Amino acid sequence: MLARAFATGLPVNWVAGDTIYGYDELRLFLQGHQKNYVLAVPETHLVWIRGEPQPVGLLAALFPKASWVMLAAGEGGKGPRLYEWAWLQLPEETDIPSEKKHWVLLRRSLSDPSERAYYRVYAPANTPLAELVRIAGSRWRIEEGYEQAKGEVGLDQYEVRGYRAWYRHVTLALLAHAVLAVLRAQINAQEKKGEPSRHASR
């Protein structure tokens, strides 16, 4: 899917993904296409620190208290999603100089610091931490969209056996969800302006 998207010339600046996508195959593919990414990885994921492979789950102990910064990873149902974040630049993986660098990005809960998440990052050297946090948080909006599509337009209610039928169902469901999202945004904008909604009586 990514290869097809890249081939169309879509302006893809970032790729974000859950832990299932954070393994070497996808990361190397994206680096080969010079695409920036923020991909979650499990705590057992190994990175090279001081010449030795270390699981990212142990890195949190290396960061002093001053290294952690509180930032919001987007808006949630109850306000900003606030976490503490820290990052560490990794050594170069090749001898070829590059304008892009590798990092490990760590996230921990404000209420329970032992609750952590880990990310591998590939991005331009001047990328600020706040931008990486924004990209990491953007994945939640996509997941929320899928959950809404399942509840509102039956995205997961297909009973098909072939790829073509499945593809048609998913495409139509997502199109219907997009229409509803646009209508919802228009109604919310009208209500903020104090205008009566044209859709309220339908």
pLDDT over 90 at 106, yes or no: yes
pLDDT tens readout for residues 137-166: 888 777 888 888 998 999 888 887 888 998
Pairing verdict, β 46-49 and 52-55:
antiparallel
Rounded distance, CA 113 to CA 76, Å? 20
Rounded distance, CA 124 to CA 83, Å? 23
Rounded distance, CA 36 to CA 124, Å? 8
- Any alpha helices (H) in 108-193, and if so which ranges? 129-153, 163-193
Pairing verdict, β 36-41 and 116-124:
antiparallel
pLDDT over 70 at 5, yes or no: yes
Task: Identify which of 16-25, 100-109, 138-147 has the greatest average pLDDT.
Answer: 100-109
Residue 134 tokens, joined: 């924004």
Spatial contact of 118 and 40, defined as CB atoms under 8 Å apart: yes
The arithmetic mean of pLDDT across residues 67-87, rounded, is: 86
**Region of poorest pLDDT, from 4-13, 94-103, 176-185:** 94-103
The arithmetic mean of pLDDT across residues 89-104, rounded, is: 78
Strand partners, 31: none
Of residues 115, 100, 84, the one with CA closest to residue 37: 100
Q: Could you identify the residue written with the tokens 């142990």?
A: 58
Residue 97 pLDDT class (50, 70, 90 cuts): low
Domain ranges in the chain are 2-138, 154-193
